Structure 1
């Protein structure tokens, strides 16, 4: 299982602690040092069955600076995925990718259910 996170993110810290307490094994990956690639994002998006907007860190400084709230609706999925692949700070985190699921953000109840 892949755990993609940003070490200074309080939600990521909580999620990492939760995984460790549950004894769930994972490979940790710093989202900025090793940004998800276009191909990875495309695969995760397909597997997640979530709207692509859920992959964007809508509360992030970069998202706001780039005024993506107004621009995303006019972009194709392809363009949005390519944009996400340019900077890890655009991607909502943490992201957990297993063989069967993709989880974005940390919601303990959802994680409990999906990572049994």
Structure 2
């Protein structure tokens, strides 16, 4: 199975994840998140498939997250409003994201990826 690897080239975590995928001979197609951010439909599919809460999809250490004061605003937003917000800018989305047929991993945690892949 070939995965979709959604990443940001200047992200050190993405670089580590990419090297790990290559070292473990896992086929993937790279997609730059800044140029091709996740769509509302993709996020609606990925969030339940991932098993993570929607908050895990937010890049909480990013400048846009801080500028928009999302730490305080997110709890008042509906899930649909959060998904639509995530789809507006790839830099709001935590990365990397690894998408397979029935797998969605968000952020690179080597032990988690090793267990699942």
Structures share fold, TM-score greater than 0.5? yes
Aligned residues: 115
1:49 positional shift = 1.4
Q: Which runs of 5+ in 1 are unaligned?
A: none
The C-alpha deviation readout for 1:39-92, integer Å capped at 9, x for no partner, is: 001100010111100000000011000100000000000000000000000000
Distance 1:114 1:4 in 2: 18
Matches within 5 A, 1:13-92: 13-92=15-94
Alpha-carbon distance in 1 for matches of 2:68, 2:39: 20
Match of 1:99 in 2: 101
Q: How much does 1:101 deviate?
A: 1.1
Distance, in Å, in 2 between the alignment partners of 1:58 and 1:70 is 12
TM-score of the two chains, using structure 1 as the length reference: 0.98
Aligned-residue Cα RMSD (Å) equals: 0.5
Matched residue SS, 2:9: coil
Spell out structure 1 runs of 4+ moving beyond 4 A.
Answer: none
Q: TM-score, normalised by structure 2?
A: 0.97
